[in-house]
A and B are shown apart, each in its own frame.
Chain A
Amino acid sequence: MVEVVLLTPLFGLLLAMVVLFGRVQGGRAEVEGAARTAARTMALARDPATAVEEATAQAATTVGEGSPTCRAMTLVPTVTEVEVTVEVSCQVDLAAAAMLPVDASMTVTGTASEVLDAYREPAG
């Protein structure tokens, strides 16, 4: 049974890898989803620039800001004449996979763009 003792670190490493991949993929999926939601919210607003606050709040809810897959979130909106582009970034906490040679956190970014509704009612 000595082998089991020797192999335990290997099992630990493999499980840490599963956690690491899960965190990173989960974080990526969340920022992409949040970017889509935020872009859609802004594109539906009469004046997209005024909807940044609402879009940021929705994105923060989508990524679950503060959770391990997103400790801190940043949202960068870009509004042009015809479309809205939103870039959402999150700090993914990788401390749970600290036994692997990875940084304590990693930044994941998701981008989405939405075409503005040409027939929406004007602002004001």
Chain B
Amino acid sequence: MTRLQGDAGVVTTWSVVVVVACAAMAGLVLDGGAVLRAHSDAFAVAATAARAGAQELSETAAQGGDVVLDPTAAQDAAAAYLAARDATGTVTVTGATLSVTVQTQAELQLLTVLGASTVDVTATASVDALEAPT
């Protein structure tokens, strides 16, 4: 075992490690929290847009007793909700199912030292139009 020349420098190394760890922890709490919030917000907006769109039922199909979405109206209603919230997303209508995918970005404040200033966040929600239970 090598004998160290006194203890000078040892504590400094330890301090640097601890300070960096503490700063990283603060960064993860702040920016990790921002990413999580952006994700739940994206999902909530997608789900609400999907619910808004799923109200647009096809009248012709409804007359025959079928629950099918009116693709154009449903797409427009969901897109209108997204536009009103300044959200970017895509809307897909298949039969009685409507899916909305929202893309957003979380802004980083501390972890920007790692090179990225934003993190892309995507969330998808889909809604089925159902016949009311009798």
A residues apposed to B, CB below 8 Å: 1, 3-4, 7, 10-11, 14-15, 17-18, 21-22, 25-26, 28-29, 32-33, 36, 112-115, 117-119
In whole angstroms, how far apart are the Cα atoms of A4 and B12 in the complex?
8
**In the complex, which of the residues A3, A4, A113 contacts B48, with contact meaning CB atoms closer than 8 Å?**
A113
**Is A32 a contact of B15 with CB atoms below 8 Å?**
no
User: How many A-B contacts at CB < 8 Å in the complex?
Assistant: 63
**Is A11 a contact of B18 with CB atoms below 8 Å?**
yes
**Is A21 a contact of B26 with CB atoms below 8 Å?**
yes
Chain B residues within 8 Å of A7, by CB: 15, 19
In whole angstroms, how far apart are the Cα atoms of A56 and B85 in the complex?
23
**In the complex, which of the residues B26, B33, B36, B55 contacts A17, with contact meaning CB atoms closer than 8 Å?**
B26
Which chain B residues (41-62) contact chain A, with CB distance < 8 Å? 41, 44, 48, 51-52, 55
**Is A115 a contact of B55 with CB atoms below 8 Å?**
yes
Interface residues on B, range: 20 to 34
**In the complex, which of the residues A21, A29, A114 contacts B30, with contact meaning CB atoms closer than 8 Å?**
A21
Which chain B residues (1-50) contact chain A, with CB distance < 8 Å? 7, 11-12, 15, 18-19, 22-23, 25-26, 29-30, 33-34, 36-37, 40-41, 44, 48
Distance in Å: Cβ of B86 to nearest Cβ of chain A: 13
Distance in Å: Cβ of A63 to nearest Cβ of chain B: 14
Say whether, besides A11-B19, A25-B33, A29-B37, A115 and B26 are in contact (CB < 8 Å): no
Q: Which residue of B lies closest to A111 (CB)?
A: B85
Say whether, besides A114-B48, A115-B48, A21 and B29 are in contact (CB < 8 Å): yes
Distance in Å: Cβ of B106 to nearest Cβ of chain A: 11
Distance in Å: Cβ of A20 to nearest Cβ of chain B: 9
Chain B residues within 8 Å of A118, by CB: 55
